[in-house]
Amino acid sequence: MKRLRFATLLTAALIALLPTMAQANVAYPDPLPLTGQQIIHDPTVIHLKSGGYVAYSTGGVIGARLSKDLRHWTDAGNAFAEPPSWWYEYNNTGDPWAPDISYRAGRYWLYYAVSSWGTNHSAIGVATSPSGLPGTWTDKGKAFTSGTTDSFNAIDPALVRADGRLWMSFGSYWTGIRMVELDPLTGTARPDTTVHHLATRPDAPYAVEGPYIVKHGRHYYLFASYDTCCAGADSTYRIRVGRSTSVTGPYTDSTGKPLLEGGGDLLLAGHGRYVGTGGESVFRARGQDWLAYHYYDAEDNGTPKLGLNRLGWTKHGWPKVF
């Protein structure tokens, strides 16, 4: 009888522990070990045609980092020497956010946002450069804007080409992720463009932002940051993903739940010292895809740092970090 009672109690204890054990068994890979200047926020990374890598980010006048091998990074100043005058229409410090770098038509293109915390009076700007290096950018002004009467927020831009057309996803809160078509010659939104809706959350404040879209196989994959950033070690940012056969959606997760209804497979979340993983982008180097993001270092007072992980694909065509 005692043995039976002990077995019963042990079974009950194990059942009670199952949720905790299941949570403990969720493992995410640590980012690639880095050296040098690792402080960064909302990184966008590209392999330069001249060799090496450049990363641009929120902070400074679009902060710049350089690397020859993806592992050691040096501070390279800023994309611009000083803020273009029109930035001050959107905040009094000339502070830009969340850049996106790409290469097409023989030059580099840098998109970025200017806004103020808590408002959708925002603008996405665009600049071009022959080399992609800091100090070589020429600002071309506004690519797209939002105002306080709009239901979307023009920040966190990311470009993607699809079927010979150029698209820009963007968005933060204010009903989530949106997309517009750009004129490939000017790099600005077409005057008659439709504002497509790609992802949102069921309830206010619709905490999804920082989109990035890539094509793999026959699908377009929408990566986005969910929950709260910018709170140091208290941040709850995490990266989710959905896919669609059309760049404008509808996007669904692996269970079929639409991202417009709060769906999205969890790709990467905080673990250990790596808190609040988000602000992501995807780039290709060394013959493979890479995920770039920031995390808040819980062992360094919540300082935002650069995270890099290899991005692979499962046999069912879903992304996975290594």
Task: Supply the pLDDT for residue 13.
Answer: 38
Residue 17 forms part of a structural domain: no
Q: Is 16 helix (H, G, I), strand (E, B) or coil?
A: helix
Residue 25 forms part of a structural domain: no
Residue 70 forms part of a structural domain: yes
CA dist 80 → 7, 9, 141, 237 (Å): 69, 66, 13, 28
CB-based contact 274:31 (threshold 8 Å): yes
Closest CA to 264 of 316, 195, 209: 209
Per-residue pLDDT reduced to its tens digit, 47-75: 999 999 999 999 999 999 999 999 999 99
Residue 62 forms part of a structural domain: yes
Q: Is 260 helix (H, G, I), strand (E, B) or coil?
A: helix
Catalytic residue selected from 42, 95, 139, 156 = 42
Token code pair at residue 192: 């008659």
Could you give the angle at the alpha carbon of 225 between the alpha carbons of 220 and 229, nearest 5°? 165
Residue 33 CB-density burial (10 A; 0-12 exposed, 13-18 middle, 19+ buried): exposed
Give the pLDDT band of residue 159 (cuts 50, 70, 90).
very high
Q: Is 31 helix (H, G, I), strand (E, B) or coil?
A: coil
User: What H or E segment, with its residue span, contains residue 159?
Assistant: strand 158-162
Is residue 201 pLDDT above 90, yes or no?
yes
Residue 147 forms part of a structural domain: yes
Residue 15 forms part of a structural domain: no
According to DSSP, residue 59 is labeled: S
Give the pLDDT band of residue 27 (cuts 50, 70, 90).
confident
Is residue 3 pLDDT above 60, yes or no?
no
Which range of residues forms the domain containing residue 88?
A: 39-321
Residue 7 forms part of a structural domain: no
Q: 130 — alpha (psi -120 to 50), left (phi > 0) or beta? A: alpha
pTM: 0.91
Residue 21 forms part of a structural domain: no
Token pair 């005058």 is at which residue? 85
Strand 35-36 vs strand 72-78: parallel, antiparallel, or unpaired? parallel
Q: Is 42 a catalytic residue?
A: yes
Task: Supply the pLDDT for residue 14.
Answer: 35
Q: Is 209 a catalytic residue?
A: yes
Catalytic residue selected from 209, 253, 280, 297 = 209
Token code pair at residue 153: 């927020």
Number of domains forming the structure of the chain: 1
Phi, psi of 34 (to 5 degrees): -120, 160
Phi, psi of 301 (to 5 degrees): 60, 30
Mean pLDDT throughout 87-94? 95
Is residue 20 pLDDT above 50, yes or no?
no
Other beta carbons within 10 Å of 219: 17
In the sheet that holds 177-182, the strands lie side by side as 158-162, 165-170, 177-182, 196-199
Closest CA to 275 of 250, 309, 304: 304
Sign of CA dihedral 243, 285, 162, 239: positive
Per-residue pLDDT reduced to its tens digit, 268-302: 999 999 999 999 999 999 899 999 999 999 999 99
- For residue 258, the domain's CATH number is 2.115.10.20
